[in-house]
């Protein structure tokens, strides 16, 4: 029988499949259903600092509007300078999930201010999160801010969060760094425990009738997986960080490719949003079946088998393969 157990972020998991940050676990019942069919950990829907700030501004505006409605009203209202937005609903949800699930609950955080990153991370860890996932999502619009400026700011955020929590900190990255391997090395140096590759960048479309931004949620497809496999294959064996794939895994064979490339864990979202919990059971069974057919007894035997340090021709993961691929096309 194939053993699918693995270690991720210092946590022992029954298998490599983690429900990624999304609405999938917005209810405790839905989270339980996913764990029942094989999820070995869950990542809670991201806490967005901007949303909390917007809620605070809205509440303050409402309170201010009521100040002069009658002579007695101010005595019933809190002072607006001490009224603040609260992450309490998310904290209660994290705490509830830790009570009803027998797998690790990871809290996802997307901040905008130094104090927001550290303050909310500390609260989420205090609510029982087994780890914190920082979703580093910067949209560069400042012409005077360099790529190095952005990376230094992000490294500072990670270091600050690591310094205030006593749980592992994982970092979810975009693929849009000049050198992903170098940045991952620098993340390791400031204390990160793992990386998730990759988040999916918001790509706005245009409505040609209204000339407004058109917002459409586009779920991932297996076509997005090769970029993740490439990064995994380069990083495996060259960092001590836990490596997780996110994006493009829709089958057990997709998951097998991620493991072979060096992934410790595989996060699933789109396939579950489309097909429900039964898709997770299918993927677990498919991976176990493939491994058994290939003679692998456990994940460690398969992990990294096709990584850059283990393949016969590592140049296939580098520039030479690009040139060969271009020349292979024929009309």
Q: What is the DSSP string of 193-255?
A: -EEEE-------EE-TTT-SEE-------GGGHHHHHHHHHHHTTS--SEEEEESS--SHHHH
Domain boundaries, the chain: 6-327
Would you list the DSSP string of 140-187? ---TT--HHHHHHHHHHHHHHHHHH-SS-EEEEE-S-SS-HHHHHHHH
Q: What are the angstrom distances between the C-alpha of 301 and each of 253, 256, 259?
A: 16, 12, 10
Check pLDDT > 70 for residue 56: no
Q: What does pLDDT average to over the chain?
A: 88
CA 268 and chain centroid, separation: 10
Q: What is the pLDDT of residues 10-26, one digit of tens each?
A: 999 999 999 999 999 99
Homologous superfamily, domain 6-327:
Aldolase class I (3.20.20.70)
Give tens-digit pLDDT for 162-173: 999 999 999 999
Confidence of residue 135 (pLDDT cuts 50, 70, 90): very high
What lies within 8 Å, CB to CB, of 274 at 6+ separation is: 219
Instruction: Please write the tens of the pLDDT for every residue from 255-278.
Output: 999 999 999 999 999 999 999 999
Q: What is the pLDDT of residue 111?
A: 87
Q: pLDDT digits over 275-310, tens only?
A: 999 999 999 999 999 999 999 999 999 999 999 999
CA dihedral angle for residue 222, residue 223, residue 224, residue 229, rounded to 10 degrees: 80
The pTM score is: 0.88
Looking at residue 331, its pLDDT comes to 65
Average pLDDT on 50-73 reads 47
- pLDDT exceeds cutoff 50 at 204: yes
Q: Is the pLDDT of residue 198 over 90?
A: yes
Q: Kindly tell me if the per-residue pLDDT of 116 is higher than 90.
A: no
> Which of 237 and 71 is assigned the larger pLDDT?
237
């Amino acid at each position: 029988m194939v053993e699918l157990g693995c270690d991720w972020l210092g946590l022992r998991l029954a298998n490599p499949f983690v429900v990624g940050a999304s609405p999938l676990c917005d209810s405790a019942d839905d989270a339980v259903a996913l764990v029942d069919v094989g999820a070995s950990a869950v990542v809670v829907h991201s806490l967005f600092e901007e949303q909390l700030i917007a809620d605070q501004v809205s509440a303050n505006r409402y309170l201010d509007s009521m100040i002069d409605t009658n002579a007695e009203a101010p005595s019933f209202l809190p002072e607006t300078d001490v009224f603040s937005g609260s992450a309490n609903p998310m904290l209660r949800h994290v705490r509830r999930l830790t009570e009803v699930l027998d797998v690790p609950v990871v809290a996802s955080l997307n901040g905008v201010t130094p104090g927001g990153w550290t303050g909310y991370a500390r609260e989420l860890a205090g609510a029982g999160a087994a780890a914190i996932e920082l979703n580093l999502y910067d949209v560069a619009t400042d012409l005077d801010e360099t790529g190095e400026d952005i990376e230094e700011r992000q490294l500072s955020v990670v270091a600050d969060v690591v310094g205030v929590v006593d749980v592992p900190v994982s970092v979810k990255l975009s693929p849009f760094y000049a050198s992903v391997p170098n940045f991952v090395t620098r993340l390791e140096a400031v204390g990160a425990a793992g990386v998730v590759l990759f988040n999916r960048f918001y790509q706005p479309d245009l409505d040609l009738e209204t000339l407004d931004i058109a917002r459409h949620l586009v779920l991932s497809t297996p076509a997005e997986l090769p970029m993740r496999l490439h990064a995994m294959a380069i990083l495996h064996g060259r960092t001590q960080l836990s490596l997780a794939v996110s994006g493009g895994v829709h089958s057990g064979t997709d998951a097998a490719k991620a493991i072979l490339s060096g992934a410790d864990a595989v996060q699933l979202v789109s396939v579950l949003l489309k097909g429900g919990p039964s898709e997770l059971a299918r993927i677990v069974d498919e991976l176990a079946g493939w491994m058994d057919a290939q003679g692998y007894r456990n994940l460690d035997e398969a992990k990294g088998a096709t990584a850059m340090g283990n393949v016969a021709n590592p140049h296939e993961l580098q520039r030479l393969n690009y040139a060969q691929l271009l020349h292979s096309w024929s009309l």
